[in-house]
Amino acid sequence: MAKKKTQRKAPSASNDKVKLSARDKRTIGELKGLADSVVAAATRKRDPYLDIPSRTLSNVRFNKSKRIIEMGRGTNRRQLFDLSQAKAYMRTMLVAKGCNQLILQGKNSSIRGLYYALKGKIKPTNEHTFDEQSDCDPMIEDLEVLINGLREELHLFAEKKGDMVGNVVLNDNGDEIDCSRMGSGGYGIPSIVEPEVIQFDRKKTTAKFVLHVEKGTVWQRFNEDKFWREHNCILTHGGGQPSRGVRRLLNRLHNELKLPIYCVLDNDPWGYYIYSVIKQGSINLAYESRRMAVPGAKFLGLRAGDFERCGLSDSVQIAMNDHDRKRARQIAKYPWFEHKKPWQKEIQKMLDNDFKLEVEALISRDISYVTETYVPERLASPKDWLD
């Protein structure tokens, strides 16, 4: 009880001090609209519902001219008085309430923080509003599409993921950061990299391109070998599937600084999909593609043919399982891959190989083979890149 009281007091106490930005006002207006619709339905004795744009493959469209994935018009109706949806409805409203509070307080919260703030017992029972954070996260995404706003507009951010190093200088919340002087750790890419927070220093930035690698371990290799210094570039990684912060940053580097984005990822279905997400946007967050996708990104490697071309030993092969094969075929069918012959050939080649290759496999040749031979070779032959 005590906790709830303080929660309720806080907004009114800080309300006067916090100055709401125009964006905040718009967001609050949207949230109010949601709440008002519930009241309106209840007064008319109708069941309240939410029409949530659906975030599934069936409701995304590949915009060929923009070369990004866009969300369709399909919606899913979430009703309060439907046994299977009642709880989800309640959770959506709880998330709306939580975000409303954050905005009024002028605070930002991690999505995990929000989960904790909203977690609680539903009074007469022992049932929890949320059992795990994974119950809460999709609700946040639902709310984003519902009010057509972004996560940062809801004053939420995710844990930061991914690092950057290289010849770029930027201003992060007032601090000047020179990414060429970040030591071995690099600059951690924050979850929110909007222009309000991060501005690039065009004059001091000399990098000619961005090299994005899949994981921290590979990134470490490149950083240690000072690859970015030699090739005058920016080096990033996303820790697997890149978070929105990383993707937004790549998008801004590409659009604002006109830097080409090159990807070096594992040769497996997941690597392909990471590239796909960077290039066209993700299915789940199709509504954010316009801000995040980099249609001009290029896929440098690893290629299915690299096993023979680089003369790697058999021991680095990772056998494919049924799940991998299924996923590979699924990816091949995506509209944005379907009509690209080189990609179809690439995926087929991997299926024929029947094994996967990680970037680390190149280490079997030499510890610095990937930085000193492989990537420079790939960079030198643009006609071999996959688009």
Partner 1 sequence: MARSQRDISVSEFFAKNRHLLGFDNPRKALLTTVKEAVDNSLDACEEAGIVPEIWVHIEHIKKDRYKVGIQDNGPGIVKKKIPLIFGKLLYGSKFHRLRMSRGQQGIGISAAGMYGMLTTGKPVKILSKTSVRKPAHYYEVQINTQTNHPDILKDIEIKPGESGRKQLEKHGIEWVNYYEPHEEGAKQGEVRSGTRVTIELEAKYQRGRGSVDEYLYQTAVANPHVTLHYIDAEDNETTYYRSTDELPHEPKEIKPHPYGVELGRLMTMMKASQEPTVSSFLTNSFSRVSPAIARKVCEKANLSTRSTLKKIGRDQADAMYHAIQETKISNPTTDCVVPIGEELILSGLYQVVPGEFYAAATRPPNVYRGNPFQIEVGLAYGADAPVQRITEELLKQLLEETDTRTLRQFLIHTFNGLGSESADKIIKAAEIGTRVSPGKLKPKDIKRLLDAMQNVNIAEGQTMNVLRYANRVPLQFKPTDCAITQSIMQTNWRSYGLTQSRGSLPNGPVTVMVHIASVWVPYTSESKEAVASYPQIQKELRLALQSVGRKLGMYLRKRLKVKQQGDRRNVFLRYLGEVAKAVSDINDADQSKLYDQLVEVAKRRTSDADVKLDKHGRPVDDEELELGENVLIVDPAEMEEELLSMVGAEVTEE
Residues making contact with partner 1 (CB under 8 A):
8, 31-32, 34-36, 38-39, 41-43, 45-48, 80-81, 83, 86-87, 89-90, 93-94, 96-97, 100-101, 122-125, 127, 129
Pairing of strands 233-237, 261-264: unpaired
Q: Is the bond leading into 94 cis (omega within 30 degrees of zero)?
A: no
Q: How far is the CB of 49 from partner 1 (least distance, A)?
A: 12
Read off the tokens for 141. 């995404």
Backbone angles phi, psi at 225, to 5 degrees: -80, 5
36 vs 224 by CB, closer to partner 1: 36
Chain position carrying tokens 């951690």: 188
87 vs 325 by CB, closer to partner 1: 87
Residue 98 class from Cβ within 10 Å (0-12 exposed, 13-18 middle, 19+ buried)? buried
143 vs 192 by CB, closer to partner 1: 143
Q: How far is the CB of 366 from partner 1 (least distance, A)?
A: 59
34 vs 362 by CB, closer to partner 1: 34
What is the spatial distance between Cα 280 and Cα 309, in angstroms, rounded to a whole number?
A: 29
Q: How far is the CB of 17 from partner 1 (least distance, A)?
A: 20
Asked if 116 is an active-site residue, the reply is yes
Catalytic residue of the set 49, 89, 116, 275: 116
Closest CA to 296 of 255, 257, 248, 334: 255
What is the spatial distance between Cα 336 and Cα 383, in angstroms, rounded to a whole number?
A: 20
- Residue pair 249/236 in contact (Cβ under 8 Å)? The answer is yes
Q: How far is the CB of 76 from partner 1 (least distance, A)?
A: 18
Q: Give the catalytic positions in this structure.
A: 116
